[in-house]
Structure 1
Amino acid sequence: MPTDTRPADVYRHGLRLLLGKDIPAWVDLWHDEGVFEFPFAPEGWPKRLEGKAAVADYMRAYPDHIDLHDVPELTIHETGDPETIVAEMRAVGRLVRSGDPYEMSYIAVVTVSGGRITRYRDYWNPLALPQDGTADFAGGRR
């Protein structure tokens, strides 16, 4: 857990955990009743996960699908709500199954209360995924 519970610091800490493939620690950043949403998820992909247990189940196999190497671009915007930030980022790595490069730009709207993520809206582009089935998890499908 980061020593500072400001949303931007929690978010940055979470990115370090994802880069370190420490999914259990990343899930520990979540509030028990946190909500993870994917507004642009295509048909057949989850659009909403409710609760820390659902987030843990969803993220469990993440490192088996995406080998995240870096987040070379990250801009965090404060909002009028001190508990909510908007993060713009680009993540790079490789798709584990195919070995193909992975690159995705994201915008996330994240709310943190008491040092825990209570809501995370992940705006990723499903059209940027390879269409050959190698990216089963790249944006959200398992």
Structure 2
Amino acid sequence: MRVYSASESDLFFVEMDGKGVVAKSGHPYEQSYISLLRVEGGRITLWREYFNPIRLQAALASLQA
């Protein structure tokens, strides 16, 4: 995980990588995520997450194969 601060002091960008296997099909699933977080008063008040939907679609399609 990599964390980057933005020009606003309460805003952060986070890069994360995930790996796994779809249990029912054995299909490998790898994904990279970018999250945008706003922290105010020690609490997360905004969380937006972005990822590649094509990788998720391939993993879900493996369940129907």
TM-score by length of 1: 0.38
Aligned position for 2:13? 86
Q: Which has the larger radius of gyration?
A: 2
Pairing 1:96–2:41 present? no
**Secondary structure at the counterpart of residue 128 of structure 1:** helix
TM-align CA RMSD: 1.8
In the alignment, is residue 106 of structure 1 matched against residue 33 of structure 2? yes
Q: Does the 8 Å contact 2:29/2:55 carry over to 1?
A: no
The one-letter code of the counterpart of 2:4 is H
Name stretches of at least 5 consecutive residues in structure 2 with no aligned partner: none
* CA distance, structure 1, for counterparts of residue 32 and residue 15 of structure 2: 8
For structure 1, which segment, 106-115 or 95-104, has the greater mean C-alpha deviation from structure 2 after superposition? 95-104
Query: What is the aligned partner in structure 1 of residue 44 from structure 2?
Result: 117
Gaps of at least 5 residues in structure 1 are 1-73, 135-142
SS of 2:61's equivalent? coil
Rounded to whole Å, the distance in 2 between the matches of 1:124 and 1:111 is: 18
TM-score (normalizing by structure 2): 0.73
Structure with more of its chain in strand, by fraction: 2
Q: Which has the higher helix share?
A: 1
C-alpha offsets along residues 55-75 of structure 1, whole Å, 9 cap, x if unaligned? xxxxxxxxxxxxxxxxxxx22
Q: Deviations over 1:25-67 (max 9, x none)?
A: xxxxxxxxxxxxxxxxxxxxxxxxxxxxxxxxxxxxxxxxxxx
| Alignment pair present for 1:132 and 2:53 | no
Amino acid in structure 2 at the alignment position of 1:132:
A
Aligned residues: 61
**Percent identity of paired positions between Structure 1 and Structure 2:** 36
Cα deviation, 1:111-141, whole Å, max 9, x if unaligned, reads 122222111111111012215163xxxxxxx
